[in-house]
Amino acid sequence: MHTMWKGSISFGLVTIPIKLFAATENKDIKMRQLHKEDHSPIKYEKKCTACEETLEQKDIVKAYEYEPNKFVELEKDELEALAKEQTKSIEIMDFVHLSEVDPIYFDRSYFIGPGENGAKPYSLLKTAMEESGKIGIAKVMIRSKQHLAVVRVYDKGLLLETIHFPDEVRNIDLVPEIPEEIDLNEKELKMAVQLIEQLTTEFDPENYKDDYREALMEAIQSKVKGEQIKVAKQRPKADVVDLMDALQASIDDTKPKKKKKKTTTRKKKASSE
Ligand SMILES: [Zn+2]
């Protein structure tokens, strides 16, 4: 696996040489863009909006637009010097409980591997965190951006998860029309809770798959073979308008005795948080 970052983690005066590795990968099916006429791949050219000259990387600089159409250029050396000040060191500032960090904060995951001579302090931190049940909060510079991160035990090793700074998380008050005080029918509420209980299972990520990606790949393969794409007809969903009727029908439909025979739609519902 490709090392994407080398540096150290420290807590107190203990320093652990480490390496970071991307822990997740995107499985999206990549599409190319072609010229409709002759099916040739297209390419992007960077052009100056004033003189229309086609530019190469060496002709391009970075700048910040501090007022409309007013720019201050930041030279590569200046950006690098600023980044260097934030040394290649991850300092654990605090330890907290994982449950205190709302999942909205989580961004990207990186496996932490020990660097040279790092095995012993690595094991020490991992075992100590395991025993205390806590996770570390730290700051890290990755690709010229400072991230807040948590360091936690994952399986047999350690994981670094970048998390958003509080000002990067939007306020839910921006969402219009979220009801705050609505009188609910006791019976409907009871039935909704019962329905949730009937659909409750243990979370096993292996139960879920990317249906869209599979269907798309199948469609691509039939097109390569020169076949027409077959789109399976959607099973029509019963149109139950009354909340109570919908609840009752769902409860009947998901009676525990039928539990073994789960349908994909039901699994999907259970996975959406
Ligand atoms: Zn120009």
Query: Per-residue pLDDT tens for 73-109?
Result: 988 888 877 777 666 889 899 999 999 999 999 999 9
Please give the distance, rounded to the nearest whole angstrom, from the Cα atom of residue 77 to the centre of ligand 1: 23
Please spell the DSSP secondary structure of 192-227, one letter per residue.
HHHHHHHT-----GGG---HHHHHHHHHHHHHHTTP
Please give the distance, rounded to the nearest whole angstrom, from the Cα atom of residue 54 to the centre of ligand 1: 9
C-alpha span between 205 and 271 (Å, rounded): 9
C-alpha span between 69 and 222 (Å, rounded): 50
Please give the distance, rounded to the nearest whole angstrom, from the Cα atom of residue 47 to the centre of ligand 1: 8
Query: pLDDT (tens digit, 9 = 90+) per residue, 240-251?
Result: 678 888 898 888
* One-letter amino acid for residue 270 of the chain: A
What value does the mean pLDDT take over residues 146-171? 94
Please give the distance, rounded to the nearest whole angstrom, from the Cα atom of residue 55 to the centre of ligand 1: 9
Say what the pLDDT of residue 146 is.
85
Q: Is the pLDDT of residue 264 over 60?
A: no
Please give the distance, rounded to the nearest whole angstrom, from the Cα atom of residue 57 to the centre of ligand 1: 14
pLDDT-based confidence at residue 49 (cuts at 50, 70, 90): very high
pLDDT-based confidence at residue 270 (cuts at 50, 70, 90): very low
The residue among 88, 66, 67, 84 whose CA lies nearest residue 76 is: 84
Please give the distance, rounded to the nearest whole angstrom, from the Cα atom of residue 64 to the centre of ligand 1: 18
Q: Is the pTM of this model over 0.75?
A: no
C-alpha span between 32 and 30 (Å, rounded): 7
Please give the distance, rounded to the nearest whole angstrom, from the Cα atom of residue 51 to the centre of ligand 1: 4
Q: What are phi and psi of 105, to 5 degrees?
A: -75, -25
Please give the distance, rounded to the nearest whole angstrom, from the Cα atom of residue 50 to the centre of ligand 1: 5
Please give the distance, rounded to the nearest whole angstrom, from the Cα atom of residue 82 to the centre of ligand 1: 29
State the Cα torsion 146-151-154-157 to the nearest 10°.
Answer: 100
Query: pLDDT (tens digit, 9 = 90+) per residue, 166-208?
Result: 999 999 999 999 998 888 999 999 999 999 999 999 999 888 8
Q: Is the pLDDT of residue 269 over 70?
A: no
User: Would you call 56 helix, strand, or coil by DSSP?
Assistant: coil
Query: Which stretch of 24-33, 65-74, 139-148 has the lowest confidence by average pLDDT?
Result: 139-148
- What mean pLDDT is reported for the chain? 87
C-alpha span between 146 and 139 (Å, rounded): 7
Angle at 58 between CA 54 and CA 64, to 5 degrees: 90
Say what the pLDDT of residue 145 is.
80
Angle at 54 between CA 48 and CA 56, to 5 degrees: 100
- Ion ligand 1: residues, CB < 5 A: 48, 50-51
Please give the distance, rounded to the nearest whole angstrom, from the Cα atom of residue 45 to the centre of ligand 1: 14
